Structure 1
Amino acid sequence: MVRDVKGVGAVALALSMVVSAPALAKEGGDQYPHGGEGFMAGAVPPPGFYLLGYGVDYRGELVDADGDEVAFPGQDPISLRVDGIAARAIYTSPYQILGGYWGAHLIVPFFDIEVDAGVMSQRKSGIGDITFSPFILSWHWPEWHLATAVDIYAPTGRYKAGDLANIGANYWSFEPLVAVTYRNADGWEASGKFMYNIKTENPDTDYQSGDEFHMDYTLAKNFDNWAVGVGGYFVHQIQRDEVNGVEVADSIRKSFAIGPQVKYDYENMSFIAKWQHEVYSRNTFDGNRINLKFIYAF
């Protein structure tokens, strides 16, 4: 079912709040690439310096609180395309705190996004919101790996209030997280990265996006240099959005995605590819995502 949207002016305002960043939902959008982690998510690498590369390709259509596609009368559903790459540097020190290795990381993304509403469309490219954490702790046991951190998302991406699509979210957010991996001697693996995102208010719109819980997950079998499995992500907004302190009705968004994934290790490098299909979406975009990841150890 496709729900028609009446009133171009009202929809332009709604779209500027719904799709104003490259990661798909609510005012300001996401600053985290859902599904980006999975294999060995809890296993922060041993002391040393590591360079990681990420790639994402996403295609989806906007859906409402009932899961119905949203469109202008006589137009195709409102759609979003996201293509992005990101460079990530990780440093794990030889120093330990509470038995865990201390580390830090920095992520710089670049996005090319396009929103098409039929009667209007917009495309933008540029550096997105930078992520960093000066404090990562990781522990390792024979079959278990555990990591904790607080990621900080800085509003470094280009943003203009009222635009249909924006690269940046225009607010800071803070994300405590726990990542855990279990991998036994037979190569069976279960990994999860659990995050709680706390957002600040967008100063240009006085819009406060609600906090949300989200996670990436993987179930896989490792053999020789290969690993294959299934994985995806789950997103659940905990609080309603607010404008000037007033709650926004029907602003809770949810997503669940699943799909196949594969990893190949070669000497000091790893290559990961994933396809993730959103089987359940509310108040966000609904579609398919390809995630790529490259790891290089110096």
Structure 2
Amino acid sequence: MESSRQPRAGARLAKAATAAAALFGVLAAGTAHATENGAPTTSFGVFDFGAGIMPPPTPDGTFATRYAFYTAHTLKDNNGNSVPNNFGLTVSSLSLAYIRMTNVKLFGANVGFGTIVPFLSMNGHLTAQTPFGALPLSASPTNIGDADFQPLILAWSSRNLFVNVAFQVQAPTGSYQASRLFNPGSNHWTFSPILGATYITNGGFEVSTSIEIDQNTTNRATDYRSGTEYRQEFAAGQHIGPFTAGVGGYVYRQLSNDHGPNVDGNRSSVNALGPAFSFFEPGKPAVWLHAYKEFDAHNRSQGYQIALRAAISF
């Protein structure tokens, strides 16, 4: 939802195109990024507590919003070493979501569907090493990103265990131009099975996780196909009345190589950990908040993320 970037277009188009071509060569060598333009295809750091719990069936469904802020000043190479290229990036995203769970049953689960639309505001800079020397580049775009559609959600629940599975399709609805160094849209489709689970003990201790695997199609504008991506998000903490407090994080791994012009490799990975909180009381908006620090990154940026989610059912 919020992990894409794009550069400024303008009078320096020819110079920027030269820099983009040269920087692509750097990326192809695997010194700074993996996946096309170094951006994970779908957002992560989304779920923490309650990852396995879907909203109840209601006449009008559930509306949710998520604000996330990501900042990084370090790029890591294939060995996990910092890349000296004067890198800096901030990404603010606001996502709007709608989920409708129903009383229809399939395999004993409630059936539902949903959609998510992200809006992105980015500000970043780096220095590209080109055959013509060092070239500083910057970007500050604001635009819509790729929309996610979940045509099928299945949710099971018991006293202590909650499980859901979903099939997600990310459509190339975001703004994209092949001449841009970074884009809010990916210009390709992504298909993702998702599994969420939450277990809450009788004493109120919760363990939650969400697992997603992204399978990407080819970007026809660049003939580039990003590798298969795996992400697992998690949280563990104690319920105290309507509040839950503990720790959360995520693990991101690229499972297969990128493929494109002069590219066959570039796998990326990163981990994140930090405090997580949630609030849930029937009849009131549910709220989630976490702050994560990334570590042990390879072939991608390493930074910090703060995310705030809220949802209410009607």
TM-score if structure 2 supplies the norm length?
A: 0.85
* Preserved CA contact (<8 Å) 1:257 1:277: yes
- Indicate the SS of the match to 2:202: coil
Q: 1:69 aligns with which of 76, 82, 101?
A: 82
Relative distance call for 1:8 and 1:247 in structure 2 (3 A) is closer
**Is 1:97 equivalent to 2:106 in the alignment?**
yes
| 1:201 match: secondary structure | coil
- Alpha-carbon contact 2:48-2:276 (below 8 Å) kept: no
Residue-by-residue CA offset, 1:175-233 (whole Å, 9 max, x unaligned):
01111110112110000001111000001000010001111101111111111010111
* 1:142-291 pair list within 5 angstroms: 142-244=159-261, 247-249=263-265, 251-266=266-281, 267-291=283-307
Does the 8 A contact of 2:34 with 2:267 survive in 1?
A: no
1:12 and 2:29 matched:
no
Distance in 2 separating the partners of 1:231 and 1:94:
31
Query: Distance between the aligned counterparts of 2:122 and 2:47, measured in 1?
Result: 21
Question: Partners of 1:34 and 1:162 in 2: how far apart?
Answer: 26
Q: CA deviation at 1:14?
A: 5.0
Q: CA deviation at 1:164?
A: 2.2
Corresponding residue pairs, total: 281
- 3-state SS of the aligned residue for 1:207? coil
Q: For the residues of structure 1 that align with 2:259 and 2:233, how far apart are their CA atoms?
A: 27
Give me the whole-angstrom Cα distance separating, in 1, the residues matched to 2:275 and 2:205: 16
Residue matched to 2:10: none
Aligned residue among 72, 97, 118 for 1:88: 97
Over aligned residues, Cα RMSD in angstroms? 2.0
Q: Distance in 2 between matches of 1:11 and 1:287?
A: 25
- Cα distance, 1:99 vs. partner? 0.4
Unaligned runs of 5+ in 1: 1-6, 19-23
Identity over aligned pairs, percent:
27
Q: Deviations over 1:116-161 (max 9, x none)?
A: 0141111111110000111110100111011011100001111111
Q: Whose RCO is larger (CA < 8 A, sep 6+)?
A: 2
Tell me whether 1:33 sits opposite 2:48 in the alignment: no
